[in-house]
Copies of this chain bind each other. A is one copy, B any other.
Amino acid sequence: MTDGLNMSRRIRRTPYTDRVEQVGVRGFSVVNHMLLPKAFQSTIEEDYWHLREHVQVWDVSCQRQVQITGLDAERLVQSMTPRSIAKAKVGDCYYIPIVDQQGGMINDPVMLKIADDQFWLSIADSDVLLYAMGLAIGANLDVEIAEPDVSPLAVQGPKAEDLMVSVFGEGIRDVGFFKYARFEFKGTQQVIARSGYSRQGGFEIYLDDGLLGHDLWDTIWEAGQTFNITPGCPNLIERIEGGLFSYGNEMTRENNPLELGLEKFCTLDGSIDFIGQRALQVIDAKGVDRSIRGLQFDGPRAPTCSVPWPVTVGGHQVGQITSCIWSPRLETNVGLSFIDRGYWDIGQNIQIEMPDNQICRGEIVALPML
């Protein structure tokens, strides 16, 4: 339908875009005003199998860092999230929902504690920097807020650890899940975390200095030849099966972290101070009206879902599918949907109203889909 994304300076290239083009990128998306590769020469199904068996390098520079520094840095970050960050140590990565006064999701970044007075928020697709800046100016906080020249490169898949060891040394094995450490690269010290937007294991290199982008890509690419590396990107099949949600797809400001199943990241006992606390306490006391669930359903291979499709039980709408695709492993369509209370049990039969009035039968399944 389209000839492509029209390029301009407004949609920023990354330190790796030249290389991504050289290895045959076929399409991009836009996240945080920056290019995110979305397709290479192979099909999404081939990429899926490859990601589960080998290793891929992903340009995820669009996960921009919001750097908050200063005497009030911890106070500002805590004010933005219901997750207590009081016990976070330098070297920790925390997944933190950011919510508005109604408890609605503004973003769901990974927070890296860089120093006692410095945090990075590795953000999904909304301008958290402007929100944090507004809060800081409005409340006259003692912080500096900036977007540093940091461009994450992800190395994902079961062979990621061995590949990373071959480049950065055995110390890589000691980096715990959702922890980071600093490793030497070309005379610089770079943050490397055991994290990433897949369930296949791997690392994210928070490259600080875009001028090193070609060097880093080339180093990973060359070392990766032994491990059957390919260029890749977040894989829709893998992330749906893995129950990894996408800001803007599964969640918007219309959704709160409790209905997203993030209650373990919500401290609602009044022991911390954050925006939206009262709203979340009310929702928690009442119980949520809907909850996110995995779905599987028959029928033809699902097309791309750019408009939510109704999920019904007995002709009554109980949800809407926000992401779905055919899984070649499970040999069924897989999707994610909020489902209303009363219909959200695992095993519940449902129907999906796809475009062209096609009705598909399915059921609610546990996440992740094993």
Q: Please indicate the chain B residues that have their CB under 8 angstroms from the CB of A1 in the complex.
A: 4, 21, 25
Is A137's CB within 8 Å of the partner chain B?
yes
Decide if A28 is an interface residue (CB 8 Å cutoff): yes
The answer on a CB contact under 8 Å between B27 and A2 is yes
A10 close to B126 (CB less than 8 A):
no
Interface of A is mostly: loop
- Beta-carbon contact of B307 and A9 below 8 Å: yes
| A5 interface neighbour in B27, B127, B135, B140, Cβ under 8 Å | B27
Chain B proximity mask over A94-130: 1 for CB below 8 Å, otherwise 0: 0000001100001000000000000000000111101
| A10 contacts B247, C-beta separation under 8 Å | yes
- Across the interface, do A130 and B101 meet the contact criterion of CB distance under 8 Å? no
Which of B3, B10, B126 lies in contact with A130, CB distance below 8 A? Answer: B126
Q: Is the CB of A30 within 8 A of B30?
A: yes
A136 with B137, Cβ < 8 A, contacts A3-B39, A13-B306, A130-B130 known: no
Q: Is A134 an interface residue (CB 8 A)?
A: yes
A299: B residues at CB distance < 8 A: none
Instruction: Say yes or no for A210: interface residue by CB 8 A criterion.
Output: no
CA distance A130 to B247 in the complex (A): 15
A33 to B21: give the CA distance in the assembly, Å.
Answer: 24
- The number of times this chain is found in the oligomer is 2
Alpha-carbon gap, A136 to B133, bound state (A): 11
Are B7 and A306 neighbours in the complex by a CB distance under 8 Å? yes
Residue in B9, B101, B249 whose CB lies within 8 Å of A322: B9
**Interface membership of A357, Cβ < 8 A:** no
Q: A1-B4, A27-B4, A28-B2 are in contact. Are A306 and B9 (CB under 8 A)?
A: yes
- Report whether A29 and B4 are in contact in the complex, using a CB–CB cutoff of 8 Å: no
For A248, give its contact among B7, B10, B306 (CB under 8 Å). B10
A132 at the interface (CB under 8 A from B): yes
Q: Does chain B have a CB within 8 A of A78?
A: no
Residue contact B100 to A133, C-beta cutoff 8 Å:
yes
Task: Specify which chain B residues have a CB less than 8 angstroms from the CB of A25 in the assembled complex.
Answer: 1-2
Tell me the minimal C-beta distance from A243 to chain B in angstroms.
17
Given contacts A130-B127, A130-B128, A138-B135, is CB(A5)–CB(B8) below 8 Å? no
| A323 located at the interface, meaning its Cβ lies under 8 Å from any Cβ of chain B in the complex | yes
For A141, the closest partner residue in chain B by CB is: B138
In the complex formed, the residue of B with least CB distance to A28 is B2
Q: Is A246 an interface residue (CB 8 A)?
A: yes
| Cα(A140)–Cα(B137), bound, Å | 12
Does B247 contact A6, Cβ atoms closer than 8 Å?
no
> At the interface, yes or no: A26 with Cβ under 8 Å from chain B?
yes
A residues in contact (CB < 8 Å) with B: 1-11, 13, 21, 25-30, 33, 38-39, 100-101, 106, 125-128, 130-141, 246-249, 275, 304-308, 322-323
Q: Given contacts A8-B306, A9-B306, A131-B131, could you give 11 more A-B pairs where the C-beta distance is less than 8 Å? A: A1-B25, A2-B25, A5-B5, A5-B29, A8-B249, A9-B248, A9-B249, A9-B307, A130-B131, A133-B134, A137-B275
